[in-house]
Amino acid sequence: MNFNLPKNALMTVDDLPFKRVAKGKVRENFDLGDELLIVATDRISAFDVILPNGIPGKGVLLTQISLWWFNQARSIMPIHLPENHDERVRELLKDYPHLIERSMIVKKLKPMPIEAIMRGYLAGSGWKEYKSTGKLFEFDLPKGMRESEKLPEPLFTPTTKAAEGHDMPITNAECEKLLGSEIFSQIKTAAQKLYAMGAKKADECGLILADTKFEFGTDDSGKVYLIDEVLTPDSSRYWPKQGYEAGKPQPSFDKQYVRDWLETLDWNKQYPGPELPAEVIANTIKCYSTALETLMGK
Q: What is the pLDDT of residues 221-244, one digit of tens each?
A: 999 999 999 999 889 999 999 999
> pLDDT digit string (tens) for 287-297?
888 888 888 87
Residue 97 pLDDT: 95
Please answer whether residues 177 and 210 qualify as being in contact, where contact means their C-beta atoms are separated by less than 8 angstroms.
no
Residues of the chain with pLDDT under 50: none
Say what the pTM is.
0.92
Domains contained in the chain, CATH given: 20-108 (3.30.200.20), 111-266+292-296 (3.30.470.20)
In single-letter form, the type of residue at position 264 comes to T
Q: What percent of the chain has pLDDT over 70?
A: 97
Q: Where are the alpha helices (DSSP H) in the chain?
A: 58-73, 85-92, 97-100, 124-133, 172-179, 181-204, 256-263, 278-296
